[in-house]
Amino acid sequence: MSVSIFDSFLTTPDMIAVFDDAAIVQAMLRFEQALATAQAAEGLVPAAAARAIGAVCSAQLYDIGAIVTAGRRAGSLAIPLVKELTKAVALYDADAATHVHWGSTSQDVIDTAMVLATRDALQLLDDGLHDLSGHLLQLAARHLATPVLARTLMQPAQVTSFGFKLTGWLAPLVRARARLRECAGRALQLQLGGAVGTLAVMGENGPAVAARMAADLHLKLADAAWHTQRDEWVRLGLEVAVLTGSLGKIATDLALLAQGEIAELAEPSGNGRGGSSAMPHKRNPVSCMIALAAATRTPHHAAALLSGMGQQHERGLGNWQAELAEWPGLFLSAHGALNALNDAFAALAVDPARMLRNIDALQGLVFAEAASIYLAATIGRPNAHALLEQLTQQVVATGRPLADVLGDAVEADPQLRAKLDLAHLKSLFDPVAASVPAHKLAARQLLGLRDRAAELDSVQPLYK
């Protein structure tokens, strides 16, 4: 396939190559070769004809541009391709040419070609997920005890651990890798049904031909033709869309944490990466930009797949063709986002000191809830709430830390001083101590994610 300069900016050459015109045509020819070979094995066509057909099933032998142009007029890429294949076979064996594409239909060859291409695309995604999960696993283990501000509704909330945040980014990726494999196990199946899905031309030999073809192409043997039953296929596409959404979430958080005013994280720099021609002080998060752009486009592709499911009778008019056009876009975006984030996380700059400074800059207000809970056990919840509300106003007005203001209030009140452990109260303002609950939760979750990732690494997916 050809992509615009702006499309290529948001994806990778490897994924473009998977859905390139030549790759799809070669996959279609692979179908034709497997069909003829299987039919010869079942005695439906002469073995010599199958060999003759297979001998010219190489995309390099054909004018792919001309086939694509003719396909627009014919309404299907398969029609001019089969015509050119038939001509090529006839040059060597006129009788063999009569057996080309026998018993199948255009959608059989195109759908199966897309399945073969998608298998390669899924391998690229699996490899990328392996790498990104590995980066996140290492970072999360390293920063389990690193305090950082949690932020809700785009505002500072309480203290969590950076490892907890990283684990939250990692978990959907491990799940996505597993679910893509599960969906692929059902969706990567041979399409072979003939004109109306019944394999009528091949008679009783049809199922055996299909079984041989599926084995030859290393695809699942479908229970029946799925020309207009697109549920498993679309479900696979939607899993790719969900993955891209998860990548967009990571890119959003990373971009926000890389803002100059926060500066807790930064993408790698140097060699012209992320620079600004007019503002040399800038360090633009280009990986986040690519991932966010890819994620922004993805819902439209996913919606188009769902819109195309209402296909008419045994063969769809327009909706199947729309699905074909939208399908590669899902994978182009997903791999572009994955590749970009792998670039970022391979050398991500983490600034724990800045994370602490951002916590300290809030004068201890993020610890107010913990202090209020401790006070409530002694003076009751309403009194504790009223006291903290009064003291936080003082903090805002004076700029003094809440720990100091609260300590002064306790020292000035004999009743409070007698009942409270001032040392323990001050410990509630320790960022490292405040991050411990998140630290413990993340550590437990990280063990399970590491085991699941290792399990996925040890098992060869269907598409390898």
CA distances from 35 to 19, 94, 168, 305, 452 (A): 22, 18, 47, 28, 39
* Catalytic-residue membership of 246: no
Q: What H or E segment, with its residue span, contains residue 458?
A: helix 436-458
DSSP reduced 3-state for 303: helix
DSSP state of 223: S
Question: Which is catalytic among the residues 273, 276, 307, 417?
Answer: 276
Question: Which is catalytic among the residues 315, 354, 450, 452?
Answer: 315
Q: Which residues of 330-339 are buried (b: 16+ CB within 10 A; e: fewer)?
A: bbbbbbbbbb
CA distances from 296 to 14, 43, 240, 261 (A): 21, 52, 14, 25
Query: Nearest CA to 217 among 456, 459, 29?
Result: 29
* Catalytic-residue membership of 458: no
Report how far residue 207's alpha carbon sits from residue 222's, in angstroms, rounded to the nearest whole number.
10
Question: Would you say 209 and 262 are in contact if contact means Cβ atoms under 8 Å apart?
Answer: no
Report how far residue 174's alpha carbon sits from residue 168's, in angstroms, rounded to the nearest whole number.
11
CA dihedral 208, 209, 210, 215 (to 10 degrees): 90
User: What single-letter amino acid sits at 441?
Assistant: L
Q: Would you name the residues annotated as active-site residues?
A: 276, 315
